[in-house]
Structure 1
Amino acid sequence: MAISWGTIKSLLIFFAPILLPKALSYYRAVRAASASARGSRPRALPAAARRGVVLLALAAGVFLVLGLVPALAPENVFARTQSRLQIPTDVLFNRLAALRRDAGAPGLAPDDEALRARFVSLESRLLYLRFGPDALARCPFCGPDDPRAYFYYAVPALLAPHLVNLVLVSLATSASFFSLFSSSSSSPSPPSFKPVDSGPGPTAGEGKAAGDTDDDDDDDDDGSGASVWRGRAALVAALLAALDLYLAGTYNHQANARATRLADLAPFFWRQRTLRLVSLAGFDAALAALVWLSGTRRLPAALLLPRGSGAVATAKAAARAARRLQAARGRLAAVGVVRNASARDEALRQRAAAYWAHEVRLMREVMEDRDVVEGVNDALRNRVDIQRVTRDADAYVAGVLPRLESEVAAAAAASTTAEESGAVPETVVG
């Protein structure tokens, strides 16, 4: 049915005020997200996202093979015997039996006999081209006078590939499914112990465990993992299933009634099966590409996250940074344990003293060499900026050990302000 230009103009007049503002806002969001993501650098694909991409790629390959290999599709007796639609039933199945015997089979199979019994009218053959051999041969409550019954029988077979694909997509975009395998295969963390004289804080074992699992557990905190596509992928999969059911339920099988040649027949069931599997393969391939692009941060995260999820992502990122700081503190505590052990053990203390005595003697002998002295003097005069080295050293010391003069001055200023206002000053810790 052709759509007139007047209808198109009416639709544009009605939908343009609704769609244009949304398109402009989306364009501005894309530009803003692209500008904010220019400083972010691509990264390696996280482990969970990589497993999801592999699963989706395998699913796409399987669906593509099932859809494009003719040997894996149900048999079309008209195409197999090169017969037209109006051929007598006995002649059609005699040809089919001869082809089966030539292929080494004993003859017609039980499904062929059931199909032969159903080929009683032209309507049955038209329904065969619409719903396929399984629905026509095995449906126990169907008849040529009720085409909707064949559709109801064929609905589970139509939805089966979509349901399988939905399960695979859900697993591939799950944030916790693949972590079960990684957590079960990881080695147990060492037992925690309390550092001696290291002050309060996390133990070394706890810090190490937090550091080991931090990167793997938070691949999706910034919205760039596979789970960000979970809801949208499920929606697209549901739309594909609904479209498939709509096409199968509204197809007019009477269009084949006027076909007098095999080339004029439209085998809707086989074409729809190929289109269904190829579309699922394309959907899985496109989803795998999007997961790879977002997982490697080649897509701006602002375009992927739903509205209102920025605060959640920020909170998760802050929690991840806190865990990393806790892990670093645990490692520093472990260093304190090692220093305490080496300082309290007599044998280790003697070995450390002997090492430093040997180091001092060796460096003194090296610095007494004439060539070394001349090289050091030349470097100090010509190649090394002593003032810059001094400034860098002062800045490093100021960053590691902040000066107390500024804190004392700030405390004195606060005390003076409190006295002038008549308030009781708080206790100043010097």
Structure 2
Amino acid sequence: MGDSLLIFFGPVLLPRLINAYRSLRVSIASRPPPRPLPAAPGRALNILFGGIVFFLLLSLPFNPHAPEPNIFALTRSRLNTPTDVIFNRLARFRPDNLLSHTDNLLQSKLTSLGARRVYLTFGPDALVSCQFCSYDDLTTYLMYYLPFHVLLPHLGHLMLLGIATSAPIAGREAARWRMKFTLAGLALAAIDVYIIATYDAINGAPLSVRAGQKPPTSLYNQVTLLRPLAIVVCDVICAAIIWLSATNRFFFKPPAVGEQIDGAIDMVVKSLKDTTTKLHASSVTRNAVVRDKELKNRDDLYWRTMAASESPTGETGEGQILNNIWEEEEVARAMSRAMAGQGGIDLAQLGVNANDFVQGVTEGL
């Protein structure tokens, strides 16, 4: 049978597998080198980290919002143990061996097998507080349980994922995963609702529990602590995916044509702004020199001196004769030694420094 299926589906699947392998190799070869984490995806990771810490604290059994211990397991009672015996045992774990008001309400409700099924599935709050619920129709308890115990945590989780994948906050690298992360959060919520709606804490229990040999376990207690832990695992996976894609280590996707054009326009605008800033600074400096009388005189003297030094006769505009320093014998000998590599001057490094200076000044022009 297996050989027949392989012969039938082989010619169809094999070319697809080969094409997928080739496309994977091409994507890996064209992937740019890893880069540091940009600022925008870093904000997304910080948001997810805050959610991870919050839900991890909710998954700890000793957190302030953790459910009360299962009284069947705490008192080592069975499903068929009488109610009075269970709460007499429970009183030993209470201060001064006295039951609280909540314990008394629970004792008045926990009198039948249907009530114990509700307690093990939906918790003591649903059993005690629900006014419209009936033991004959567990859907009524489900409607009471879902909004605050199931839907509210998952809605908060979806809101967290939405903020962490928002383009204005987290950038393009995280926003590309928005739909996939939202579907993952919805799938997690659907699985949670399915478990609560279909599991029977008594009929689904092991045979030893139904036979009255072992205490029953509370689905309510287990799910209340496992729900935030599952959300933590989901958020850790989402954070890892964002980090891998934002640093070009995996899941690399080249930017679209529109994004490339926008990036080029942003670079041009930034270059123009930098150039305008430099020209404005130069203009302000020049105006400051021209407006100050002393600086203006020193500037005029400098340029007259430079013009005279470059003039073959050394004549200034005012008829003065200045000695050209470059024609002095001592300066000429020093220049010759420097050009010959003597005198401790590294001309190559000097040229590199001059080139870096010019590039820094003219950057963006």
Which TM-score tier does this pair reach, normalised by the shorter chain?
A: 0.7 to 0.9
Equivalent position of 1:207 in the other structure: none
CA contact (8 A) 1:45 1:292 kept: no
**Equivalent of 1:310, from 231, 256, 265?**
256
**Equivalent of 2:184, from 236, 257, 270?**
236
Cα distance between partner residues in 1 of 2:299 and 2:266: 38
What residue identity is the alignment partner of 1:81?
Answer: T
Equivalent position of 2:341 in the other structure: 379
In the TM superposition, residue 299 of structure 1 has moved relative to its aligned partner by 3.1
In the TM superposition, residue 364 of structure 1 has moved relative to its aligned partner by 6.1
**Equivalent of 1:124, from 115, 118, 126?**
115
Shift of the 367–169 alpha-carbon distance from structure 1 to 2, 3 Å rule, reads farther
Shift of the 344–122 alpha-carbon distance from structure 1 to 2, 3 Å rule, reads same
Q: Give secondary structure in 2 for the equivalent of 1:379.
A: coil
Q: Give secondary structure in 2 for the equivalent of 1:176.
A: helix
TM superposition score normalised by structure 2: 0.74
In the TM superposition, residue 274 of structure 1 has moved relative to its aligned partner by 2.7
Choose between structure 1 and 2 for higher RCO, CA contacts under 8 A separated by at least 6 residues: 1
Establish whether residue 329 from structure 1 lines up as the match of residue 275 from structure 2.
yes
In the TM superposition, residue 244 of structure 1 has moved relative to its aligned partner by 0.9
CA contact (8 A) 1:139 1:153 kept: yes
CA contact (8 A) 2:115 2:135 kept: yes
CA contact (8 A) 1:78 1:262 kept: no
Establish whether residue 66 from structure 1 lines up as the match of residue 66 from structure 2.
no
Q: Give secondary structure in 2 for the equivalent of 1:127.
A: helix
What residue identity is the alignment partner of 2:222?
Answer: R
Shift of the 275–34 alpha-carbon distance from structure 1 to 2, 3 Å rule, reads same
Q: Deviations over 1:360-405 (max 9, x none)?
A: 89x86999369844640422899869xxx8xxx9xx9xxx9xxxxx
What residue identity is the alignment partner of 2:36?
Answer: R
Q: Give secondary structure in 2 for the equivalent of 1:99.
A: coil
Equivalent position of 1:115 in the other structure: 106
Equivalent position of 1:281 in the other structure: 232
Cα distance between partner residues in 1 of 2:11 and 2:72: 52
Cα distance between partner residues in 1 of 2:53 and 2:45: 12
Question: Identical aligned pairs, as a percentage?
Answer: 32
**Equivalent of 1:161, from 140, 153, 166?**
153
In the TM superposition, residue 262 of structure 1 has moved relative to its aligned partner by 3.6
Establish whether residue 53 from structure 1 lines up as the match of residue 2 from structure 2.
no
Deviates more, 1:286-295 or 1:16-25: 16-25
In the TM superposition, residue 120 of structure 1 has moved relative to its aligned partner by 2.1
Equivalent position of 2:330 in the other structure: 368
**Equivalent of 2:196, from 234, 248, 260?**
248
What residue identity is the alignment partner of 1:334?
Answer: H
CA contact (8 A) 2:78 2:212 kept: yes
CA contact (8 A) 2:37 2:243 kept: no
What residue identity is the alignment partner of 1:73?
Answer: A
Shift of the 148–301 alpha-carbon distance from structure 1 to 2, 3 Å rule, reads same
Establish whether residue 319 from structure 1 lines up as the match of residue 265 from structure 2.
yes
CA contact (8 A) 2:326 2:332 kept: no
Establish whether residue 43 from structure 1 lines up as the match of residue 5 from structure 2.
no
Establish whether residue 227 from structure 1 lines up as the match of residue 175 from structure 2.
yes
Q: Give secondary structure in 2 for the equivalent of 1:68.
A: coil
Q: Give secondary structure in 1 for the equivalent of 2:80.
A: coil
**Equivalent of 2:221, from 270, 279, 288?**
270
Cα distance between partner residues in 1 of 2:263 and 2:152: 40
Q: Give secondary structure in 2 for the equivalent of 1:368.
A: helix
Cα distance between partner residues in 2 of 1:335 and 1:232: 49
CA contact (8 A) 2:244 2:251 kept: no
In the TM superposition, residue 239 of structure 1 has moved relative to its aligned partner by 0.8
What residue identity is the alignment partner of 1:65?
Answer: L
In the TM superposition, residue 237 of structure 1 has moved relative to its aligned partner by 0.4
Q: Give secondary structure in 1 for the equivalent of 2:261.
A: helix
Cα distance between partner residues in 2 of 1:51 and 1:366: 65
In the TM superposition, residue 355 of structure 1 has moved relative to its aligned partner by 6.0
CA contact (8 A) 2:117 2:200 kept: no
Equivalent position of 1:172 in the other structure: 164
Establish whether residue 143 from structure 1 lines up as the match of residue 143 from structure 2.
no
Shift of the 331–383 alpha-carbon distance from structure 1 to 2, 3 Å rule, reads closer
Structure number with larger C-alpha Rg: 2
Cα distance between partner residues in 2 of 1:358 and 1:259: 112
Cα distance between partner residues in 2 of 1:322 and 1:275: 52
CA contact (8 A) 1:67 1:278 kept: yes
Q: Deviations over 1:284-333 (max 9, x none)?
A: 1222222223333333531xx7xxx7233223223322322332332243
Alignment: residue pair count:
328
Equivalent position of 1:92 in the other structure: 86
Q: Deviations over 1:3-54 (max 9, x none)?
A: xxx9x9999999999988877665544433322223x4402431x3222212
Cα distance between partner residues in 1 of 2:301 and 2:211: 102
Q: Deviations over 1:178-230 (max 9, x none)?
A: 8xxxxxxxxxxxxxxxxxxxxxxxxxxxxxxxxxxxxxxxxx3xx4x322222
CA contact (8 A) 1:342 1:349 kept: no
In the TM superposition, residue 340 of structure 1 has moved relative to its aligned partner by 4.5
Cα distance between partner residues in 1 of 2:82 and 2:9: 54
Q: Give secondary structure in 2 for the equivalent of 1:301.
A: coil
CA contact (8 A) 2:67 2:224 kept: no
Q: Deviations over 1:215-261 (max 9, x none)?
A: xxxxx3xx4x3222222111110111011111111213313361524
